[in-house]
Amino acid sequence: MIGILRRLKNLIPVNARLLLYKSVILPRLTYCHLVRHFSSASDVRKLERLQEKALRLVYNTAADSYDTLLKRAKLTTLQNRRLQDILILMFNVKNKLVMNYISDIFNIKEDTNGKRYNLRNADFVLPRFKTASYGKHYLRYLGPQLRAKLCNEERNIDTLAAFRKMIRKKDVTSIVEGYRTECRLFLA
């Protein structure tokens, strides 16, 4: 698919090449990407390099950095996209918008005696592991951890459309790396 961009780079304009990339190649890179998120680091890097290679062909440049190409195309890294989709999945699980076999992966905390404490991990029970690192790279653990790192205002958004709009504007990789961003709603 990327070879097609190489052959067409001098025949069609940049906006047509970008449209071709977003409609033909990007869906293949993001197909079942939640499963790929837990692949080896080398496989994940290969996907990022494919996106970078395709964007270089779209804009016909070798000098620009990957971040510059992403900003120019108004895209995000594939890793950030996967983390955003994990958060959207967690929103759907919390609001019971998914099938039972998906929500059964997670342990949702139930209210006890009608009391609800405002704790960061108040929505899900995190699984316990006997070792320090085993199991912490699974969806069952990473999903609730990501959701817990969101601000209360972001976690309490009511509709899926509003949550999706907010999360698509957010750099989730900074949350994973431990940096807290300021809590702002991007509803406007």
pLDDT digits (tens, 9 = 90+) for 16-25: 999 999 999 9
Whether the CA torsion 178, 108, 36, 63 is positive or negative: it is negative
**Domain final residue, candidates 55, 75, 95:** 75
Report residue 68's pLDDT band, with 50, 70 and 90 as the boundaries.
very high
Q: Is the pLDDT of residue 36 over 90?
A: no
For residues 40 and 126, state if they share a domain.
no
Cα 159 to Cα 88, 149, 165, 168, 187, distances in angstroms = 11, 19, 10, 14, 11
Q: Are residues 87 and 168 in the same domain?
A: yes
Nearest to 142 by CA among 187, 84, 97: 84
Average of pLDDT values for 136-144?
81
Report which residue type is found at 63.
Answer: A
Domain stops at, among 75, 107, 125: 75
The span from the CA of 85 to the CA of 64, in Å, is 28
Neighbours of 23 (CB within 10 A): 9
pLDDT at 106 over 50: yes
DSSP 12: S
Give the C-alpha separation, 178 to 187, whole Å: 24
Mapped onto helix, strand or coil, the DSSP state of residue 112 is strand
Query: Has residue 185 been placed in a domain?
Result: no
Q: Is residue 186 part of a domain?
A: no
Give the single-character DSSP code of 111.
Answer: P
Q: How many whole angstroms separate alpha carbon 185 and alpha carbon 188?
A: 8
pLDDT at 185: 43
Q: Which one is predicted more confidently, 128 or 179?
A: 128
Question: Which tokens hold the place of 68?
Answer: 């510059």
Say how far apart CA 172 and CA 21 lie, in whole Å. 23
pLDDT, residue 171, reads 92
- Which tops the pLDDT comparison, 124 or 95? 95
Among 75, 90, 102, 100, residue whose Cα is nearest residue 154: 90
The percentage of the chain sitting over the pLDDT mark of 70, rounded to a whole number, equals 81
Q: Which domain holds residue 171?
A: 81-176
Query: Please, which pLDDT band fits residue 102 given cuts at 50, 70 and 90?
Result: confident
Nearest alpha carbon to residue 54 among 92, 28, 86, 90: 28
Q: Does the pLDDT of residue 110 top 50, yes or no?
A: yes
- In this structure, is residue 152 part of a structural domain? yes
Q: Is residue 113 located within the same domain as residue 131?
A: yes
- Local structure of residue 120 (DSSP, 8 states): T
180 — pLDDT class (breaks 50, 70, 90): very low
> 114 and 168 share a domain?
yes
| pTM beyond 0.85 | no
- C-alpha of 4 from chain center: 27
State the pLDDT at residue 79.
92
Q: pLDDT class for 121, splitting at 50, 70, 90?
A: low
As a whole number of angstroms, the distance between CA 163 and CA 26 comes to 22
Kindly indicate the confidence band of residue 169, based on its pLDDT and cuts at 50, 70 and 90: very high
